[in-house]
Structure 1
């Protein structure tokens, strides 16, 4: 498998996961490249584990040799690593780790969420994911060399740190409906002339109208009470 083939293989899962979790896809892909040596590590081949996460995964676990450090002394040993049914499950578990952090510090990696890739690469290191002082720069180099930041922007042009378009549309629809109800209510009470004109203004400039309507309602109600 070539490097570009490896990126193409895991990118869809990284992007799909980003839309749910706000973990930048570029960060996920770069970490997967670095941690798994482009998918060639024994752990990835034997357990679909891209990130070296220990414990029991969706498909159990696998015992693999590893190097642990006692102080600055490396010691070769073995450990149980999580095994997954596929690479997408490994990516989802990686995002869950970033979202949930550790028991002692659940927000450990939250600086990554919705961040620009350069900030995300720094924040993942600051959260304690890696001790290598050059870890952020290694990730940034991968992202920029292989243009991985392209995966942080969806087809509508919205980057991961912007409001998702479907949520924005839902909010705008709710605001329009609330505005229409307010206009109808005022007109029914005889407090508003030409409701059709106000509705047209709401359609043309919903943000401006929704700012103006509360003031308008207060003014008209005040006039009614002081007749």
Structure 2
């Protein structure tokens, strides 16, 4: 009898033990984020914010933003990227003009039967109609089509694609702009920012290497009555000391008819 009771007690104890094991819940304790981890995240964000490109001026930023679009247009329509960008810079004020800001119109293209969005702006006349685009890239495409589809610009496409000077002059001759100095302005922008390199990247081996302009011409001046070293130095934007050095002068004495080198 006692053995039987002992067995029953043993079975009951074993059953209680197994039940208690099943009833236990696993508790997962989350490790709180440390202050160190939070600090690292903030520093990463700060670094990301400070990685913004810095440009010397608005024109450099404009070139960086739109150069690939200009090169794409060159590939598709044969208009030098240098010319497209220079025109965009000049016409839009490096992207800061009213038409470019309000209408994404970077080339001052007027409506001319345009059925899309419009904006009115004072130009040759008060409140003229200009085209309005949803995105600046459409302005670049419309500029390409504007030149390609009009007969008066046909001569442009007979010029070499690396001849940006020829393109600048022919644009003016074809009536794109009324400003007599328009070609010089485009050429100046292209050479200042070396935009011809964008043409070279597109043309590859067929590009004719552009040579940086250098002045090797020696300039002289013949002394007239009343001239002094000081007056001559002012006229040619050179110091008296440099003028003396160029001509091997030990003093400021001059004689009428004397020939001076004013630019080596």
TM (norm. structure 1) is 0.60
Contact 1:11 1:25 in 2 (8 A): yes
Tell whether 2:84 aligns with 1:35.
Answer: no
Contact 2:162 2:199 in 1 (8 A): no
| Counterpart residue number, 2:61 | 5
The alpha-carbon deviation at position 63 of structure 1 amounts to 2.5
Aligned residue among 175, 197, 200 for 1:150: 197
Distance 1:65 1:55 in 2: 11
Distance 1:139 1:54 in 2: 20
Listed as ranges, the gaps of 5+ residues in structure 1 are 69-75, 162-227
Aligned residue among 166, 173, 180 for 1:133: 180
Structure having the higher Rg = 2
Partner-residue secondary structure (3-state), 2:118:
strand
Aligned residues: 152
Higher normalized helix content (fraction of residues):
1
The alpha-carbon deviation at position 85 of structure 1 amounts to 1.7
Aligned CA-pair RMSD: 2.5
The alpha-carbon deviation at position 86 of structure 1 amounts to 1.4
1:185-224 matches, within 5 Å, as none
| Counterpart residue number, 1:194 | none
| Counterpart residue number, 2:119 | 63
Partner-residue secondary structure (3-state), 2:122:
strand
* Greater relative CO, 1 or 2 (CA 8 Å, sep 6+): 1
Contact 1:24 1:112 in 2 (8 A): no
Tell whether 2:136 aligns with 1:87.
Answer: yes
Contact 2:67 2:85 in 1 (8 A): yes
Partner-residue secondary structure (3-state), 2:108:
coil
Listed as ranges, the gaps of 5+ residues in structure 2 are 1-56, 209-264
Per the alignment, do residues 115 and 99 of structure 1 end up closer, same or farther by CA in structure 2, a change over 3 Å counting?
farther
Distance 2:115 2:136 in 1: 12
The alpha-carbon deviation at position 159 of structure 1 amounts to 4.7
Per the alignment, do residues 51 and 21 of structure 1 end up closer, same or farther by CA in structure 2, a change over 3 Å counting?
same
The alpha-carbon deviation at position 119 of structure 1 amounts to 0.8
Stretches (4+) displaced over 2 A: 56-65, 105-115, 154-161
